[in-house]
Amino acid sequence: MPAATTIGIAQWHADTDDPTRNLDTALWAIQELADRGSDLIVLPELWASGYDAARLETCAKAAAEPLPGRRSEALAAAAQRAKVWLVAGSVPELDAGNLYNTAVVYGPDGVIRGKHRKAHLYRPTAEHEVFTAGDRVTVVPTEKFGPLGVAICFDGDHPAYARALRERGARVVVMVAAYEVGAEHWWNLLHPAHALGNGQWWVTVNQCGGSGPGAMFGRSRVIAPDGRVVAEAPALDAAREPHLMTCAIDFHGELERADAESGPLWRDARPDLY
């Protein structure tokens, strides 16, 4: 892996009634971020259906597709055309009559390298009544980043999930989210703590927009393995226009520094006690 790696992030407020428009926005963002030199591109949670708690089931079912399917084929072609790694946010996945909230990882060859079905469903917005929960911790092998940990929103809020990703070798975690304004203090505290405690890069990508308590506050981030926020997208904007951000980082160098400075948090753990 070269010393500098460029992360590309797209945050926007997805339309709850127009999956076709949402896909067009995603494909535009992928190509634009690739043109800016991104090696890894990340989209937010449920960009294909939008996220409106009051209409979540209706919107998710209207945007649901199997994997592979028409939408995934378009995303695969975009990743291959741009020659980038793509964590394509999460989308409603239909499989054997079940509806999942699923994040898909595409390689620069356009091949699906892995997928993660959201395992921790957020009860305050009744996700457990809409989706079937996933049943695994997901780490995707990659040639460029090593084992890549994947989390969808509430998954990444659980310290045990973050630790499980590290135990499976993930030093880079991508968390796609639709994080509402009422929980912004969680965003400020939890994921930098996970990064520090587990010696991991965390890339957290949020939707941004809307109004009222269900508004998504944006502030997508790249967090270094010492807990520092090294790049952050803007906060809530009522406009639906996407915001694109790139951040060039030294993955290996920062991991080496984290191992030297805070490695005991990992090396000296006593799992026999917990």
Summarize pLDDT for 142-188 with one digit per residue, the tens: 999 999 999 999 999 999 999 999 999 999 999 999 999 989 999 99
Token pair listed for 249 = 């980082």
Q: What pTM was estimated for this model as a whole?
A: 0.95
**In the chain, pLDDT over 90 holds for what percent of residues?**
88
- Identify whether 109 is part of a domain: yes
Exposed, middle or buried: residue 98 (CB in 10 Å: 0-12, 13-18, 19+)? Answer: exposed
Q: At 32, which CATH number?
A: 3.60.110.10
**What pLDDT was estimated at residue 261?**
87
**What pLDDT was estimated at residue 267?**
83
Domain count, the chain: 1
**What pLDDT was estimated at residue 274?**
85
Which domain covers residue 199, as residue numbers? Answer: 5-260
- Identify whether 273 is part of a domain: no
Tell me if 71 sits within 8 A of 77, measured CB to CB.
Answer: no
CB atoms within 10 A of CB 190: 19
Task: Please give the C-alpha separations between residue 175 and each of 134, 151, 160, in angstroms, as whole numbers.
Answer: 15, 5, 15
- Identify whether 86 is part of a domain: yes
- Identify whether 212 is part of a domain: yes
Q: Considering only 94-108, 131-145, 247-261, which range has the smallest mean pLDDT?
A: 247-261
Nearest Cα neighbor of 29 from 87, 115, 109 is 87
- Give me the torsion for CA of 163, 166, 171, 174, rounded to 10°: -60
